[in-house]
Structures are given as C-alpha cells and as structure tokens.
Structure 1
Amino acid sequence: MATQHISPALCAPAPLSRPYAKANPGYGKRSTPGQRPPRPDDFALLPERERYVAGYVDHLPDGAAMDIKSLAKSLPLYGQMAVGSALRALGVAGHLRHVRCPADAGGGQIRWITRTYWSRTARDNEWWAAFLGAVPAAPAVPAAASVLAVPQQRTEEPEPVPQPAPGPEEAPQAAPAGAPSPAYLALARLGRADARLALSAADCAALEEAAAAWLARGVNTEYLVRTLTAGLPAAVDSPVGFVRRRLRDKLPPLLPAAPAPDAPATPGRRPMVECTQCGAPGRPEALPDGLCRSCRTSAPADTTTAPEPPAGRDVAAYVGTLRELLRSP
C-alpha cells in the first residue's frame, strides 16, 4: 500500500531564491480574489511533485511567467513534461485555469493574451465558471516590440507667438448659426471633386435632406462624393438637377440594424479558458477541471490524467485519487 505524503517539507523550493521569469505586460500569473492567508499545509494533500510546483507558483508575484518552459527552468527537480503534467493536475484539483483574454492593441486591432489565474484555495467548477465568466477584457497592452520601457525625454513646448488682430478688411465673416451638417459639407465638396458639379450654397441647402438620407443608411461622406461624381457626362447643364436625380436613383439599400452591444455578435472577444493539456479554447463552463472534452475522455500515453471528480468534490478523497494516479516520475 502506497504511503501518503502529507508532510509539507517539499512544498516548494526556496521562494524566489533565483530571479523568476517575468511575463510580457498583460500576460502571466493573476491571483484570484477571496483566498485564505498562506499556511504551511496549504498543499499537503497533493502528491509530492504537485505540492512542490504549487508551492513555487503560489510564491510567484502577479505578472510572473507561467509557461511550462519558464517554470521548468526555475524548478531543477522536474523537466518540462513533468511540470506540464503537474499544472494539468493542479487545474483538475481546482487551483488554476489558463485563460485567453482579448486586449486592445491600438489601431482597432485586438491581441489575445494568455493569463494563468491561480487560487491557493482549491475551487470547484461552478466557482471557476462564475469567476471567469465575469472577467472583463484586458486593458490595452503594448506590442511585443515595445515591452522594454524607453525613457521619455521632456521637451519644452514653444511659447505661442501672439498674432496681431486683423484689420477691418481682414475680419472674418461671421459663421452661420449652427455648424454645417456632414451632408451639406459633402455636397459642397462636389465642385472641388469635379467642376461640372459645382453647387451654390442654396443648392447645397436644397439637397441637404436627400444627402442626409444616404448617411443615415450607413455610408460615409467619401462614398457619397465618389458615387455622385462617378461616370459624369461630358457636360452637365444643371448640376443641381443632376445631383438631385442621382441622390434619388442611386440611394443605397437600407441595411439591418446593428446588434445590441450585449448581443453575441463577437463571441471571440469574450475571455476563453484554455485546456491545461492541449490548449484548446472554450467557454469556462465547457472546460470543467480546465480540460476540454477530448482530453477528459481520451486516455493519454502517461497515467497522470485523473478521472473527473465527484459532483460533491470531496477534496480529501478526490486528492487521494489524484495522489495515486500522479505518482509517475
């Protein structure tokens, strides 16, 4: 009969006895809220290898690298395969989840960053699903090329040069009450795009409502100007009549209304949990114990994959099963 190791003597290597690897900004370890204070017997029920890895990870600060390669470099007793098996077992035991979070990279681009959420206190699947379902999108993160901070030099702004007040002949004309609408400005630009469609101020005001109908259907002013000036005849006798007819005949179709912000129009922008074994993404509720369906049902080559825990999650009994299954070197 195998001897149960409940001594925390090998809980972890000396905490931070060597420089730990720091993840890129936005990545790495994230501690979950509501954990109890650390105790010497936090991971005493885990097998020796998992207890050793868990103790080291628990001492790491937020933002530390949590990839298998970085952890294996800091844990001399185990290689990458052993560390990967230990992380998988810690996910099954309820201590961690790998999560992909969308982050704004600027310029309308979205970057996916991988975080490992860690809990010293073992949590069940329902807790993890509720917690990860409420994780917001990550804040903006710099590109990988800009990870190193570059000191910024302070520059003195030139003092504004006072401008002389305009004389009576240079005084600007008073602006009309209310700023001109985008539709009015687009019509005014037609003459500059093509002189054959030069419109007067009165013509722009008369056609403004018809042009605004185009913008209300989702097109921008560039599209409006380009469409109205395309394929003009050699001569246009009446620019205002010609533009009025094109505004009526070429009116774009009415598109369906955009979905509400809370509609699932962009499901890929929500945080996704990664399977701790194969890395496949999915919703938190679809990866109980941090494992996808394929990794839960398939039998891998090693014997470190634990069975699905009981519904009630008797921690002592369940970890005892883990201990027997995770005793491979």
Structure 2
Amino acid sequence: MAVQQLNAPTRSQSGVPAPGSPVPATGVTHVRHRHVERFTVVGNHLTQHRELSLTAIGLGVHIQSLPDGAKIGIKALAERFAEGEIRIAAALRELERHGYLDRTRVRTASAHWVTRTVAYDAPPGLVPERKGRPPARPSGTPAPPPSLRPAQTAERPVPLAAPEQTPSPRPAPLPPPLPEPDRPEPARHRAATELLAGLRRHDARLLLSARDVARLAPAVSAWLERDVEPEAVRRTLTSLLPQDPIRRPAALLAHRLTELLPPPLPAAPAAPRVHPLRNCDSCDRAFRSEGPEDCPGCRKTRTP
C-alpha cells in the first residue's frame, strides 16, 4: 500500500476520441476543435434546412460570416465564387424567400438606385427568444441606456419591457416605365440606336452594352417622334454629367430620357389665306381678289 497505483486512464487530447469510446459503424465521425478566434455561430435551421439548396445554404453561411458593410451583390459574389451569376442570383432569391435576406431598392440623393440588404441570422419568428432576456438587436443597434436595462436583485431579475418596434421602411417605389413612340418607324428606331451607340464618343463613361442600347432605343425614338433633333437629344444626355465615375450609365440615361421628355409640339396655326393676283376689268390694274371684279379704286369712283 506504500506504492501509489495510478490506474485511471489518461485524459485524451481535445478533439480526438478517447480509447474505448463508441465509434459509429457508418456515417460521419466528428473531430471537434474549440475555436477561440475567427469563427461564426450558425443555426442548424439554416445548415440543415429542408427546402434550401446546397448553394443557398453555403451562401447563407458565407453571408453570416461577413462584417457589416460587406458587398454581397451578385457581381461581387460571382467574383468570389465559381458558381456564376445565375446560380448566385437563384440562391439569393431562395434566402430572401425563406426570410434570411431582405432586399429593397432605394433611391439615393444623387438619383441613383441602390439595393439595401438586411441579413438575418434567423428568420423573424423562427427562433423564440429566451425567457428573461430582451429581444436580440440587429447588428449595429446601440444598447439601451442604463436606465432602461433590467435591474438585478438578490431574489429575481426584473424583466425588461419590450422596446418599441421601429416601423419597417417602406419599399422603394419602382422606377417609371421608359417612354415609347406612338407610331414606331424603322428609320427613326435606327437613328435612335446609332445615337445611343455613339454616346461613348462624347464621353467614354457612357459605354453601353448592346442589350442596353436595345432597351433605350424606343425611349429615344419617342423624343425623335416629338420633333426633337438628334443633336438636341444627344446634348441632353451628355451635358452636366457627374464628375464621379458613372457605374451605371444605362440607368442614368434612362432617368434623363424619362424625366426630361418634352411634350408634343402643338399644332401649327393655319396659314392666312392669300387671294391670287388679278387684273382689274376696267383699269387693268393688278390687285388681289377672290374672283374677277373691278379693283377697289374703280369701285370707289363708280360709287355715287
């Protein structure tokens, strides 16, 4: 009994199953690691979602790992991943349909349209709040002042009254439709297409794709139909452009073609009727008259 016998098994290393622990015969065996930095907590309601595709689940986890202000547009994500814009756009629509994303179109003070996105770790109403804790605040929302925090006593905590719900922002109105001509004509449409394709000669930032030219050509035809000269249309589209880089030239041109569309010209007044020249039957003097008759001088001399 003088010699101490250590018969307890040694402690296994973190993440490695201990000798003799049950190992499943089939399926996955996890080797756990405790993260202390650069990690994200993701709910199983997303990672094991029954209706979301694998692309949407992976994209949802990636979005939750990003900081506030990160770019999650379709083009930015397509540069990061190899799935392509079509699959990424479909995955974003899935996340939006199931409540993980909220995307709204907002018009800025500089007349640009931008998409504002709110990402939810859990869709509203899916995960119930724990009893005795205030509702979770969106990221970036300041904490309530000390006077509104629940007071702690030795017996029980005082529950905090639910904060007032801020009204959700109204969805941004859709942009007005582009003007269209009343009577489409091939020649006028061709002139409108050439005008739009040549705008980059005046400003290299107004480089349009073939699809944008085809979409904006009817609007330019509506201007030409209202007797606006092509040079006047070009001057309206290219004058007073912003000094900053133009990220969406087609949207800028569509705004100007819609908001600055002039009204149709009023009907021209009828020209005054001019009588033809005739010769007087009495003195053969030329004068204007509707029919053959004497001139005013001869009629005056015959008047008693």
Output the TM-score relative to the length of structure 1.
0.30
Output the TM-score relative to the length of structure 2.
0.32
Larger radius of gyration: 2
Higher relative contact order (CA 8 A, sep 6+): 1
